[in-house]
Amino acid sequence: MPKKTILKQILIWRAKYISHRQFVYILSIIIGFTSGVGAVVLKNLTHFIQHLLEGKLITDYHHAFYFLFPILGLTLVFFIIKYVIRNKVSHGIPSTLYAISKRKGIMKQYQMFGSILTAPLTVGFGGSVGLEGPTVATGAALGSNISRMFHMNQTSRNLLIGCAAAGAMSSIFKAPIAAIIFAIEVFSLDLTIASMLPLLLASLSAILTSYFFFGDDILLPFRIEDKFYISDAPFYILLGVVAAFVSIYFTEVYDKIHSFFDKIASPVKRLIIGGIGIGLLIFLIPPLYGEGFDVINNLIVGNPEKALENNFFQLDLNNVWVVVLLLAGLMFSKIVASSLTFGAGGVGGIFAPTLFMGSIMGYCMSKILNNCGLFNAPVSESNFTLVGMAGLLAGVLHAPLTAIFLIAELTGGYELFIPLMLTATISFGITKYFRPHSVYNMELGRKGELITHDKDHAVLTLMDIDKVIETNFITISPEMTLEQIIHEAVVKSNRNIFPVVKKDTHRLQGIILLDDLRPIMFDQTLYKEIVATDVMQKPPAVINIDKDKMTDIMQKFQDSSAWNLPVTKNGVYFGFISKSKLLTAYRRQLITLQGDS
């Protein structure tokens, strides 16, 4: 039986026997499972490549492979993108946010497998990025295309993309509650009963899938042993402040290197510059190889020497301050290595680098506090390592609740809840003040295309500006006489506004209202004397479609009290937007967003 016939029968059966909400529940379970499988495939492929390369060639042959492998991996990714996928494979979570914001939750089919083909090669060959972003992107693309296959509306598509993100995170970290909070915080989903149950079902489905394939293995196998004492609170507050400034450093470096590579038009040049850069960094600092969870686990159990044993400088690791210095250098180098990997065309995420840097930051802080001789009672190095990760997650990702619950779930309890809240809140608050947008959404945020929990802003962002522009206006040239205006424009038009446009340049000179013509339009003695420039007026505001966002357009209508405003595109007249049509489109989008359509 043809696929279309089977799908048609399923849709007919669904319409007869299952409500829309029940069908969303079913799809959320399916999407959770597919996200879990996607995470399993990505992780296993990556670890297989890492085991094959790092375990044999580097250990048994030569250290120089640390330089060669990242370049080789990025080259393979370049050829796969160019000749196999034949489409740009964007960074995972930003591309998903863009799909929600500007593509009505529609993701292209190649995005379902693009990250699976490229991310394991990037990370497995030593690219200093994570797999969480590509896993979320893969799950989100699966969720988007499954929802499209079953003709779900935009609201349901966005919710199912959130379910896919929750499923991916739940499968990776085995932290189902943190995964749900991640989907709500990062994708700005509304926390309602209608959205909560699908997210729970997807997260549960994904974690069961993860347990089936991975068993009890988790990324950060640790249980809290040191208790929190109220006397430690000032130290965790200080950790939050430090985390904020490290988060700002992270974002600034990422942004500047990203902007540098954006200016290089040739993908080959980006590959050469970024590949050589990341190769040299990993050759000099081998712990930057791959995701870095081995380093994190060594720090949590208080074994930094293991993480630094291959240091290029062969320094004495028995000296505490040498260890702190080397770890600090490793921390500040990680985001440079990650940004170079992205710049060279690698595919990955920044979630793991954030955890990597956060763990080092927390560990270094505890070492400094315990060895500076100013305090009597030592602080817990393992707890500071864990809370440091939460602090940096809260600052870099602007997701404090995700940071708190993720570390709490990973450590199997809530003994660290107070220090987690202290550090994450302070880090997020300070970082948000200096950097309004996270690494994930800085580009969309600058353009005003980011979906937020602000309902009004979300509706305006989702609106399509092209659909509210009207172009059926008769234009008038500045030299036209009153007679020509009446016979060639007023008589033929059903509109009461006329744009005055230069013939040669098509630039807008002004507008003429029908109300301006009524007092003189029947006085034939003025037909030859008055020209368009005599009666035209300056528009109260002009909308520049190249620069103005929907929020700017709404503000211009509010400030000018106008009912129609002209639109220019590339410097020339393009059409008009009417307030009535804009408000009608706003209302329709609001209904769609609320799921009432």
Which backbone phi and psi does 440 adopt, to 5 degrees? Answer: -65, -40
| Measured distance CA(296)–CA(424) in Å, rounded | 19
Tens place of pLDDT for every residue, the chain, 597 residues? 555 677 777 777 777 778 888 888 999 999 999 999 988 899 889 888 888 876 555 555 556 777 888 899 999 999 999 889 888 877 677 777 777 777 777 888 888 888 888 999 999 888 889 888 888 888 888 888 888 888 788 778 888 888 998 999 999 888 899 999 988 888 777 667 777 899 999 999 999 998 888 776 666 666 677 788 888 899 999 999 999 999 999 999 998 998 899 889 898 999 999 999 998 998 888 888 888 888 888 888 888 877 776 666 666 677 888 888 889 999 999 999 999 999 998 888 888 899 999 999 999 999 999 888 777 778 888 889 999 999 999 999 888 999 999 988 887 767 888 999 999 999 999 999 998 888 877 655 544 444 544 455 555 566 677 778 888 888 888 888 888 888 888 888 888 889 999 888 888 888 888 888 888 878 787 878 888 888 888 888 988 887 887 778 888 888 888 888 899 988 889 899 888 888 887 777 776 655 543
Residues 158 and 198 sit within 8 Å (Cβ to Cβ):
no
CATH class of segment(s) 3-214: mainly alpha
CA distances from 92 to 113, 119, 334 (A): 12, 10, 19
Residues 395 and 427 sit within 8 Å (Cβ to Cβ):
yes
Burial of residue 478, with CB atoms counted within 10 A of its CB: 0-12 exposed, 13-18 middle, 19 or more buried: middle
Judge whether 3-214 and 230-453 match in fold.
yes
Beta bridge partners of 470: 576
The DSSP string of 445-504 is HHHT----S-HHHHHHHHS-GGGGEE-----B-TT-BHHHHIIIIITT-S-SEEEEE-TT
Query: Which pLDDT does position 59 carry in this prediction?
Result: 55
Query: Which pLDDT does position 87 carry in this prediction?
Result: 82
Beta bridge partners of 511: 499, 537
Residues 531 and 478 sit within 8 Å (Cβ to Cβ):
yes
CA distances from 560 to 105, 170, 216, 509, 556 (A): 34, 49, 62, 18, 6
Q: Where are the domains of the chain?
A: 3-214, 230-453, 458-594
Three-state SS string across 65-93, please?
Answer: HHHHHHHHHHHHHHHHHHHHHCCCCCCHH
| Measured distance CA(12)–CA(27) in Å, rounded | 16
Alpha-carbon torsion 190, 193, 198, 201, what sign?
positive
| Cα angle: 309, vertex 310, 311; to 5 degrees | 95
| Measured distance CA(142)–CA(112) in Å, rounded | 6
Determine the topology of domain 230-453 in CATH.
Answer: Clc chloride channel (1.10.3080)
Query: Which pLDDT does position 249 carry in this prediction?
Result: 95
CA dihedral 175, 177, 178, 179 (to 10 degrees): 80
Query: Which pLDDT does position 62 carry in this prediction?
Result: 53
| Measured distance CA(459)–CA(120) in Å, rounded | 37
Which residue type does 94 have?
P
Q: Find, among 503, 500, 511, the residue nearest to 564 by Cα.
A: 511
Query: Which pLDDT does position 29 carry in this prediction?
Result: 93
Segments in 372-465 forming alpha helices (H): 381-397, 400-410, 417-434, 442-447, 455-462
Query: Which pLDDT does position 416 carry in this prediction?
Result: 86
| Measured distance CA(129)–CA(71) in Å, rounded | 14
| Measured distance CA(382)–CA(370) in Å, rounded | 13
Would you say how long the chain is, in residues?
597
Is the CATH code 3.10.580.10 the one for domain 458-594? yes
Whole-structure pTM value:
0.77
Which backbone phi and psi does 339 adopt, to 5 degrees? Answer: -65, -40
Three-state SS string across 264-326, please?
Answer: CCCHHHHHHHHHHHHHHHHHHCHHHCCCCHHHHHHHHCCCHHHHHCCCCCCCCCCCHHHHHHH
Beta bridge partners of 383: none
How many Cβ atoms are within 10 Å of 110's Cβ, its own excluded? 16
CA distances from 148 to 25, 106, 151, 154, 263 (A): 15, 8, 5, 9, 36
Q: What is the CA radius of gyration of the chain?
A: 29
Structure tokens at 43: 């992780």
